[in-house]
Structure 1
Amino acid sequence: MFTGLVEATGTVVSLEPKGDSARLIVQVGAMAAELTEGESVAVNGCCLTVTEWDVSAQTASFDLLMQTLKVTSLGDLQSGSLVNLERAMSMSARFGGHFVQGHVDATVRILDWSEAGQDHRLEVELPPESAGLVIPKGSICLDGISLTAAEVTPTSVICWIIPHTFKVTNLHTKAAGARLNVEFDLLGKYVRNLMQAQAAT
């Protein structure tokens, strides 16, 4: 479980195909000294397991299943790509984001990424099947970042990005047309499934 508050950004060293899977190696900086084998780390919002790490090189390795490559944007990563990193939440820390599982629901395209004064306007498409899962002032997780949905249209969601978020995440490397991983709010998904189950009885 994560919060959607990005701890740091890392730089992709390599993404190496291995048959129907792949190995992702990321330069994670000082975080490497605190990692352990089997630990969960959200990489662009996708919960991955640390399989190897190198404290001196400050790298961490993750094995990606074909399913992960199919439902996320991680397959788009190249050497030098900047990724958002977050370790699993600590129960002793302040909980400042929202409950994020690290289970990506879909990928979405950026429709608009523009400056608006000191802030940035981020508009992303919404898949038709996600209708009702995002509400105005509700939470949405994009590339592992907990964001507030400022406005929701039938086909998109608009978030406002403050300078701090722009600076400390990978968003400053993005442009219109780029793919982002999206995880919809857990509560909304439970409510929709319960309502669908009741309607079927």
Structure 2
Amino acid sequence: MRNTRNSYLNKKISGEGMNDYKNELKKIKSKAEKSRQAHFDLAEKKSLLRDILHYITLILSSFVAILTFADYQRFLPIIPNLTQDNFVLGVGFLASFVFLLTVTEEFKRWGEEAQQHLYTGKQLTSLIRDCDSLIKNESLLEGAVTNIREKYILINELSPPIPDKEFLKAKQRYLNKRAISEYLDEHPHLTVGEAKKRILKGRGDKEDE
């Protein structure tokens, strides 16, 4: 049984079957590129949210620590009606807010989610490279294509979920990047900014027709 499976996996693909398998690899590669864009975008977004919340918490914590040992009378020129009780109450509210931010940071786990999306993006990058290598080869083995297929399914099963809204945004960004890349291949003398302007202008002209 094992010899039969090994024989099947090591079977060389030729003829029309070669085109069919290469088309399948191109489809897997295209899907992987869109998913990779979404995962990298989400990793960047989650990291940014984590950093913003972390720095806000750090700054407010330092501010609370300073106010705890401060004399409320120092603030009378700014807040004339300030009393000792109001000052202590205000510091208490601020400390409670800092605690709430700390709990939110722990509960949201944006840093952990960012790492998961980043790891999945890197796995998809490796898969895309493997697809590229096989697509460029003049010969293919059944086992190599099967391995790509199974690897893509496994990555999707283990990857963190992508909200539909985020996936659509990432898909559009990917298509825009691809359009710019293809346009630059045809017009290598242009900069990325110039290519963007020409593509947008071309889309606008088509909409006006």
Structure with the bigger RCO (C-alpha within 8 Å, sep 6+) is 2
Q: Which has the higher strand share?
A: 1
Same fold (TM over 0.5): no
Q: Which has the higher helix share?
A: 2
The TM-score normalised by the length of structure 2 is 0.20
The TM-score normalised by the length of structure 1 is 0.21
